[in-house]
């Protein structure tokens, strides 16, 4: 939106402003010392935390307005309002009086000058940090051992994702998807889409909530993010352009509060699927799908319209079988799915660690069995029997009619009690290789010997006690090595560490699909 308060609030000049030392994205709030979501006041250059941390940036604005309520306010007090601030990570400008992000600038272009100054400070700090890490890497014998693969020392080519203010939920999902080879390659090979034309072509776009949806492309920003990963040219990439497109088209994720990684993944895949049903620069989606990913049309699972790479990779089909307990009438329905949400059986919910002695270990197979076993529906889920002409008690059972190339399993760790949403912190044992799904198939006799075997590609972990708090990280395998992705930090790890993780989302790749992608 166009803000009318910039002239009276933007009073600092970058050359004379006394900014803190270090990179702007890691500046600390002058009140609580938090380095999450730092915002700088464009009146006095003081740094405070955003409204979704402890809200000291907003309090700074509110405190500055107290003298303005006095009828004897001076001209100086009227001009200096402290109403506009800038996000030090994404460089977006926010006005508290307008209560929205703004896109205009002062007549002298002060907002853009501050933005460019902060970017220069960030780049300088990033370059210095990169040189420091490179020097440590060269001088550290420990790191040399960690990076020794097949007898030769290799560089750590993985790239982290900067946290833009409680965006670890997004980073963990993006890193996981970037390590699903066939899915990632499809987007990386798409032709680039120019979002802006004419005078603004080539200039960086700062997406805000006030801009129209027609000038943003989730597919394009997702493609750019995936291309930035695994190049080895930088230690961390800032996905702010993708994040603000997410703000535009997924209102649930606006702001800087912690979000549910599984919910974000579903929204992301659904919106990618919807956008991919269009075309790119005059090239039809179906042509790109076949040329770039090698996926045949017969293999695609259709969800909400035409099939795309999303449904071709993640799409499976469930058979929902319901039987009336009064007359025995059987009803069958086929439901497409992109992931399966599995309950952790109640008898295992007190077992928090792998080595705890109280009872048997909960395994992923226990969760799958609980999902597919025959169950009697309770009184709140009575089945409308067409033969009995009324709602009757019934049983329900799921079969998998078609397995996907990538099997995404979501463990339901968060559940609602009477007043709040609790977390099930139970450790669930899961295999790194040879997850056999044949026994859950509707027609297992029609599957090949290895068509039901899956190997783990990535796992998302939630650390903490609640869905609105805590922290997300991800483990993923790339070219035979396991990496731990913790926002900007990427480290090599081992299989023993991965299997001890309390998984929240698991990504398993079909062994046949994996073999096929290795040959591409």
CA 335 to chain centroid: 25
Task: Return the axis-axis angle of helices 261-276 and 168-178, rounded to nearest 10°.
Answer: 60
Report the C-alpha gap between 302 and 304 in whole angstroms: 7
pLDDT of residue 51: 72
Rounded to an integer, what distance in angstroms lies between the CA atom of residue 311 and that of residue 315?
4
In this prediction, residue 446 carries a pLDDT of 64
pLDDT for 445 equals 65
**What's the average pLDDT block by block, 10 residues per block, for the chain (520 residues)?**
82 71 84 87 89 84 70 48 85 84 83 83 67 50 38 61 90 96 90 51 37 68 89 79 88 83 95 80 43 43 73 92 86 91 87 61 93 83 83 87 94 77 88 92 69 93 81 93 93 94 96 58
Q: How far apart are CA 471 and CA 494, in angstroms?
A: 21
**DSSP β-ladder status, 471-478 and 489-493:** unpaired
Pairing type for strands 47-49 and 38-41 reads: antiparallel
Residue 418 has a pLDDT of 62
pLDDT score at 148: 40
Confidence (pLDDT) at 257: 80
- Rounded to whole angstroms, the Cα distance separating 100 from 376 reads 50
Contact 229, 160 (CB under 8 A): no
Contact status, residue 86 vs residue 111, Cβ threshold 8 Å: yes
Query: Which residues are part of the catalytic machinery?
Result: 168, 471
Q: What is the pLDDT of residue 7?
A: 83
pLDDT tens digits, one per residue of 239-297:
988 988 998 888 888 877 889 999 999 999 999 999 888 754 334 444 444 444 444 43
pLDDT reported for residue 192: 73
The C-alpha atoms of residue 426 and residue 353 are separated, in whole angstroms, by 7
Q: What is the pLDDT of residues 309-349, one digit of tens each?
A: 999 999 999 998 888 888 888 888 889 999 999 999 988 87
pLDDT at position 171 is 96
3-class state of residue 33 by DSSP = coil
CA 276 to each of CA 77, 144, 212, 287, 298: distance values in angstroms, whole numbers, following the listed order: 53, 43, 19, 12, 18
């Amino acid at each position: 939106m166009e803000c009318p308060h910039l002239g009276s609030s933007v009073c600092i000049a970058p050359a004379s402003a006394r900014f803190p030392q270090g990179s702007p994205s890691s500046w600390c709030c002058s009140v609580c010392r938090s380095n999450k979501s730092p915002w700088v006041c464009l009146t006095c250059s003081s740094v405070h935390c955003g409204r979704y941390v402890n809200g000291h940036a907003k309090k700074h604005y509110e405190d500055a307005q107290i003298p303005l309520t006095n009828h004897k306010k001076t001209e100086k007090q009227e001009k200096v309002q402290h109403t506009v601030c800038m996000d030090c990570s994404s460089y977006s400008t926010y006005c508290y009086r307008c209560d929205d992000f703004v896109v205009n600038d002062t007549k002298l272009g002060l907002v853009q000058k501050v933005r460019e100054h902060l970017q220069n400070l960030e780049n300088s700090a990033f370059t210095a940090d990169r040189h420091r890490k490179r020097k440590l890497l060269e001088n550290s014998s420990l790191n040399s051992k960690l990076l020794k693969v097949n007898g030769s020392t290799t560089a750590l080519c993985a790239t982290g994702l900067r946290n833009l203010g409680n965006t670890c939920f997004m980073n963990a999902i993006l890193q996981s998807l970037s390590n699903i080879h066939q899915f990632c390659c499809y987007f990386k090979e798409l032709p680039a889409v120019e979002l802006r034309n004419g005078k603004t072509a080539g200039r960086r776009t700062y997406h805000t909530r006030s801009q129209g949806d027609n000038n943003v492309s989730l597919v394009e920003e997702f493609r750019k993010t995936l291309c930035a990963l695994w190049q080895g040219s930088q230690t961390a990439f800032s996905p702010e352009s993708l994040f603000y497109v997410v703000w535009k088209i997924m209102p649930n994720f606006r702001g800087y509060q912690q979000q549910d990684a599984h919910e974000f993944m579903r929204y992301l895949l659904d919106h990618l699927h919807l956008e991919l049903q269009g075309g790119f620069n005059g090239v039809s989606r179906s042509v790109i799908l076949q040329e770039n990913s090698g996926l045949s049309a017969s293999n695609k699972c259709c969800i909400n319209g035409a099939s795309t790479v999303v449904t071709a990779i993640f799409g499976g089909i469930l058979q929902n079988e319901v039987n009336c307990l009064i007359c025995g009438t059987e009803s069958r329905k086929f439901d497409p799915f992109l992931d399966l949400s599995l309950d952790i059986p109640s008898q295992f919910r007190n077992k928090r660690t792998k080595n705890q002695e109280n009872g048997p270990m909960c395994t992923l197979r226990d969760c799958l069995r609980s999902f597919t076993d025959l169950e009697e529906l309770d009184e709140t889920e009575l089945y409308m029997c067409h033969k009995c002409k009324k709602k009757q008690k019934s049983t329900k059972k799921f079969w998998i009619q078609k397995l996907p190339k990538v099997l995404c399993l979501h463990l339901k760790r968060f559940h609602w009690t009477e007043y709040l949403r609790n977390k099930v912190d139970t450790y669930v044992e899961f295999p790194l290789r040879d997850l056999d799904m044949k026994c859950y198939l509707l027609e297992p006799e029609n599957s090949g010997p290895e068509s039901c075997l899956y190997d783990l590609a990535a796992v998302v972990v939630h650390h903490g006690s609640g869905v609105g708090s805590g922290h997300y990280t991800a483990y993923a395998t790339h070219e035979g090595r396991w990496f731990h992705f913790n926002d900007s930090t990427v480290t090599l790890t081992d299989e023993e560490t991965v299997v001890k993780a309390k998984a929240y989302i698991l990504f398993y790749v079909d062994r046949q699909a994996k073999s096929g992608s290795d040959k591409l």
